[in-house]
Structure formats: structure tokens, C-alpha cells
Amino acid sequence: MNSTPAPAFAFVGLAVSDLAASIAFYRRLGVEFAEGAENEPHVEAQLPGGGPLLVLDPESTIRSFHPDWRPPTGGGRTALAFRCASPAHVDALYAELVEAGHSGELKPWDAFWGQRYAVVRDPDGNEVDLLAPLTES
């Protein structure tokens, strides 16, 4: 039996093509970045609800340390999920993000597993799920 503790989950990191656009998108979801973060080479913010950190690194910063690095291509296999206050909040936030020019991947719907669910894409095409329980628990 190994006595070394398991490593703790630390953050979700995204390589972003436009830091200002990504910060604006995630601020609409309640992520509080420091004032002027758009001008930094690396930003971190606590996710709402006490989740892990969200770390955004501009592709240009990554390339400065790793010149051979190239951004991922093709479909994403990762999604971030944000729990909303209510089904109506899912609908309103989805509409706000789509109206702001972000791609609506899946319009809000009542999922069979008991949640109001929708999917939008952030400025780099990452899926961001919006969800809320259909009934109070």
C-alpha cells in the first residue's frame, strides 16, 4: 500500500487565442478576473461556487516558452459546466451569450436526467454546459 497521498486537482487550464474575448465570455458566467487581466500573459481566477481555478494562457505566451507548440485542432473532448440558479436562468444566460455573438451548440432543453441543459461555445470553441435541476431537491 502506497502511503503517498494522491495529488489534489488544481485547475482547469485553457490555451486561448484571444485573451480579452475569453475573459469577457467567462466574466458573463460569473468568473471574477482581476481588473486589467486582459493585458497579462497568464491569468487565474477562482471558479464560482468554490470550484478549482480557471487558468487562461494566450497561445502567444505558450509559444514563447514552447516554440514548437501548436494549438489543438479538431473537436474538443472537454467541456466546462456551470450550474445555474434555475431552469429560467439557463434560458436567460444561453440567450445572453448567443446574443453576444457566441455559438449556441445546443438550445436549452429538459434533459431526461432531470436538468434544464444547454451548451454554448467559448471564443475558442470549447463547449460550456449550462445546467440547473428541473425540480428543487
Structural domain that includes position 24: 11-67
pLDDT of residue 6: 74
pLDDT of residue 69: 82
Helical spans, DSSP H, in the chain? 19-28, 59-65, 87-99
Q: Are residues 84 and 62 in the same domain?
A: no
Q: Are residues 60 and 102 in the same domain?
A: no
Q: Are residues 56 and 17 in the same domain?
A: yes
pLDDT of residue 1: 61
Q: Are residues 47 and 84 in the same domain?
A: no
pLDDT of residue 137: 54
pLDDT of residue 7: 67
Give the pLDDT of the chain (137 residues) as one tens digit per residue: 668 887 688 899 999 999 999 999 999 999 999 999 999 999 999 999 888 999 999 998 888 878 888 887 776 667 899 999 999 999 999 999 999 999 999 999 999 999 999 999 999 999 999 999 998 65
Distances (CA, A) of 4 to 8, 9, 12, 42, 125: 12, 15, 24, 31, 38
Q: Are residues 131 and 84 in the same domain?
A: yes
State the pTM of this model: 0.86
Residue 51 domain-assigned (yes or no):
yes
Q: Are residues 61 and 109 in the same domain?
A: no
Report the C-alpha gap between 137 and 118 in whole angstroms: 20
Domain boundary among 67, 86, 101: 67
Residue 4 domain-assigned (yes or no):
no
pLDDT of residue 8: 81
Residues 74 and 123: beta-carbon distance below 8 Å:
no
Number of domains in the chain: 2
CATH code, domain carrying 105: 3.10.180.10
pLDDT of residue 33: 97
pLDDT of residue 97: 97
pLDDT of residue 78: 78
